[in-house]
Amino acid sequence: MTAPQISFEFFPPKNLEASFRLWDTVQVLAPLAPRFVSVTYGAGGTTRELTRDAVATLHKSSGLNVAAHLTCVQASREETLAIADSFALAGVTDIVALRGDPPQGAGRFTPHPGGFANSVELIQALAETGKFAIRVGAYPDIHPEAASAQADIDWLKAKLDAGADEALTQFFFEADTFFRFRDACAKAGIDKQITPGILPIENWKGARNFARRCGTHIPAWVEDAFDKATRDGREDLLATAICTELCSELIEGGVDKLHFYTLNRPELTRDVCHALGVTPKVALQNVA
d(CA 99, CA 120): 8
First to last CA, the chain: 35
Active site residue 121: no
SS3 (DSSP) at 278: coil
Q: Are 47 and 40 in contact (CB under 8 A)?
A: yes
State which amino acid sits at residue 271: D
Q: Are 108 and 145 in contact (CB under 8 A)?
A: yes
Q: Which of the residues 9, 166, 202, 235 is marked catalytic? A: 9
Cβ burial 174-183 (10 Å sphere, 16+ → b, else e): bbebbbebbe
Q: Which helix (H) or strand (E) holds 198?
A: strand 193-198
d(CA 76, CA 58): 27
- Residues 6 or more apart in contact with residue 198 via CB below 8 angstroms: 171, 243, 246, 247, 258, 259, 260, 261, 272
- Integer CA distances (angstroms), 72 to 8, 102, 105, 148, in order: 23, 10, 17, 23
Task: Find the angle CA(263)-CA(197)-CA(109) to the nearest 5 degrees.
Answer: 80
| Cβ burial, residue 257 (10 Å; 0-12/13-18/19+) | middle
The alpha-carbon radius of gyration of the chain (Å, integer) is: 19
Q: Which helix (H) or strand (E) holds 179?
A: helix 175-187
State which amino acid sits at residue 72: C
Q: Which residues are catalytic?
A: 9
